[in-house]
Structure 1
Amino acid sequence: MLKIGDKAPDFSLKTGNGSTFNLADHQGQKSIVLYFYPKDDTPGCTAEACSFRDQYEDFKDLGAEVVGVSSDSEASHQKFTQKHRLPFELLADADGKVRKLYEVPRALLGLLPGRVTFVIDKHGVIQYIFNSLSGATDHVSNAKKVLEGLPA
């Protein structure tokens, strides 16, 4: 089980625009708010994504980049990003390898992919883990509080 203080597992995934996001490329530069969510364009996931969108400048000011991950396709991510004007990357984890790597549990009797947020500092160390399927927008406010407490 991953825990606070662990080195964040490195990974590479395709973005909604077809480029590749490599976690290691950001090490030493900025913190990463890595949030796993169940599905594009569902009520809770839309509320969470739009809350990250609405506070995105705050995250940038805190030296962090927001990155969402679900099993949806690149095309689905592209539509979701455009529809809701999301300023951050959504990553396609179609086979669930990164979800497994980060040990994100399934929710609601194993029927839904879980909703878990990790705050990874610029040194690649996990500083925060929040697991809650129902508190979609709490992920945003909690991640922001953690980042406010990190050294610049």
Structure 2
Amino acid sequence: MGLKVGDKIPNFIAKDNNGNDFDSQVLIGHKPLVIYFYPKDNTPGCTTQACGFRDQYEDFKDLGAEVIGISSDSVTSHQEFTKQYKLPFILLSDSDGKIRKLFGVSSLMFGLIPGRVTYVTDKNGIVQMIFDSMLANKHIPKALEAIKKIVS
């Protein structure tokens, strides 16, 4: 059973791309969030998605929202990915898959490929939109549209 629209996102702590502990409670209650789960750093779809969020990051920031990417990659992998593509947002390492499990993000292809799902929450951490699609470039406009609805 995964999260549904109207659910509150669970609290979680993970290492960010700088090796620091990130606590979801720091942002919940303060700003809307775009939390996107993706399969793997430096793969074509994931790079397209990360660069799409990068290119529109200021639009999200202007609306008061924060973008967070989550995959099972290591902190080192995230550091390299962030540096190579100049990603301005937080990437979290979910190496044990606990956060993915908390959200209920399923895997595809008989469990071989981690799913690609974007969650948009209001500032109180209530899920307002869930977009589940392997089409990496579709997540950015969907998330931006949802954030605009939340803050309008």
Which TM-score band (shorter chain)? Answer: over 0.9
CA distance in 1, matches of 2:64, 2:4: 22
SS state of the match for residue 150, structure 1?
helix
Runs of 4+ in 1 over 4 A off after TM superposition: none
Unaligned runs of 5+ in 2: none
SS state of the match for residue 78, structure 1?
helix
Letter in 1 for 2:149: G
Partner deviation per Cα, 1:98-137 (whole Å, 9 max, x = no partner): 000000000123210000000011011011111111x101
**1:150 aligned residue:** 150
**1:76 aligned residue:** 77
Shift of 1:42: 0.3
Shift of 1:151: 3.0
TM-score with structure 1 setting the length? 0.97
Is residue 63–residue 151 contact of structure 2 (8 Å, CA) maintained in 1? no
Partner deviation per Cα, 1:65-116 (whole Å, 9 max, x = no partner): 0000000000000000000000001100000000000000001232100000
Q: Give the paired residue count.
A: 151
Report sequence identity in percent: 56
CA distance in 2, matches of 1:23, 1:32: 10
Unaligned runs of 5+ in 1: none
**2:41 aligned residue:** 40
Shift of 1:62: 1.1
**1:55 aligned residue:** 56
**2:109 aligned residue:** 108
In the TM superposition, 1:26-37 aligns within 5 A as 26-37=27-38
**1:129 aligned residue:** 130
**1:139 aligned residue:** 139
Shift of 1:16: 1.1
SS state of the match for residue 137, structure 1?
helix
Letter in 1 for 2:72: S
CA distance in 1, matches of 2:8, 2:28: 11
